[in-house]
Amino acid sequence: MQENKSCAIKSCAKPARTKGLCKTHYTRLLRHGDPTINLKQIARARTDAAICSVETCERKVKQNGLCTMHYHRWRVHGDPLKLKTAPTGALLSFLLQTAQYTGNDCIFWPYAKNEHGYGQLHYLGKHRKAHQVICEMAHGPRPSDKHGALHSCGRGHLGCITPRHLRWGTQKQNLQDAVDHGTIARASKLPHTKLTPDDIRYIRKMHYLVPAMQLAERFDVKRKHIYDIQNGKRWTHLQ
């Protein structure tokens, strides 16, 4: 009777099954490329990877390799170790000087920015966007909750806070600015758009006269698309 061979790994006495390895070491070879790999070290490495990347912190990672506290500091101040955006006196001085600036050149926020490029800071106990604070200081308080600080230069995403480039406006005006600046294209200029401005006018004119399903089949779009056009949710720039 032929004697069963042992696993090729010297410290293992289990019977060999495939490629001279036991089931356990063959599985490790398939999964990790090394039959002798230490699974405890892998588990420890995964645990270490889930710890905040700040050397003195042992909290679990929330995002971007940082714990909740350090991630929040990074979002607010641009540095996970900073507690303030800048010295209070220097920050307020910069805000006041910028609010009084009457030139037309873009002034870019030099401190922390959010992921979209807009300046951010703590102002009067609240987390605010820098261009909103400057607009308020230069042009007075926001007229209503529906108004936001709009840029005429199209460089808000670069952190521009020039007073002459800011004004209070509605979301509709903001979208129109984005079209004018080329940040977003009008629907009729997009290569995949099936409908033309004349089609949109016809669809709106036929509201309550022609079933939406029939219009959808005619223009080869979804029925919800027809509803959105007729209810003013799409093509809002086209009157």
Task: Give Rg (Cα) of the chain.
Answer: 30
CB 226 within 8 A of CB 216: yes
Q: What is the 3-state secondary structure (H, E, C) of 153-203?
A: CCCHHHCECCHHHEEEECHHHHHHHHHHHCCCCCHHHCCCCCCCHHHHHHH
CB 147 within 8 A of CB 169: yes
State residue 1's pLDDT score.
Answer: 44
Q: For residues 225 and 163, give the distance between their C-alpha atoms in angstroms, rounded to a whole number.
A: 39
Q: For residues 175 and 132, give the distance between their C-alpha atoms in angstroms, rounded to a whole number.
A: 17
Q: Of 216, 113, 92, whose CA–CA distance to 156 is shortest? A: 113
Note the pLDDT tens digit of each residue in 183-228. 554 544 444 457 888 888 888 888 888 888 888 888 888 888 898 8
Which are the contacts of 30, defined by CB distance < 8 A and separation ≥ 6? none
Residue indicated by tokens 């609010």: 99
Joined tokens for residue 92:
């307020």
Arithmetic mean of pLDDT over the chain:
80
Phi, psi of 149 (to 5 degrees): -85, 115
Torsion (CA) 45, 51, 56, 57 in degrees, nearest 10:
-160
Residue 149: strand pairing partners? 168
Instruction: Output DSSP code: residue 120.
Output: E
Q: Considering Cα of 97, then 99, then 152, then 118, what sign does the dihedral take? A: positive
Alpha-carbon distances of 216 from 23, 190, 213, rounded to whole Å = 60, 19, 5
User: Within 10 Å of residue 24's Cβ, how many Cβ atoms?
Assistant: 15
Domains of the chain in start order, with CATH, are 1-49 (no CATH), 51-83 (no CATH), 88-181 (3.90.75), 188-230 (no CATH)
Which are the contacts of 43, defined by CB distance < 8 A and separation ≥ 6? none
pTM: 0.45
Q: For residues 59 and 57, give the distance between their C-alpha atoms in angstroms, rounded to a whole number.
A: 6
Q: Is the pLDDT of residue 166 over 90?
A: yes
Output the furthest CA–CA distance in the chain (Å, rounded).
99
Note the pLDDT tens digit of each residue in 113-152. 887 888 988 887 788 899 999 999 999 998 998 888 998 8
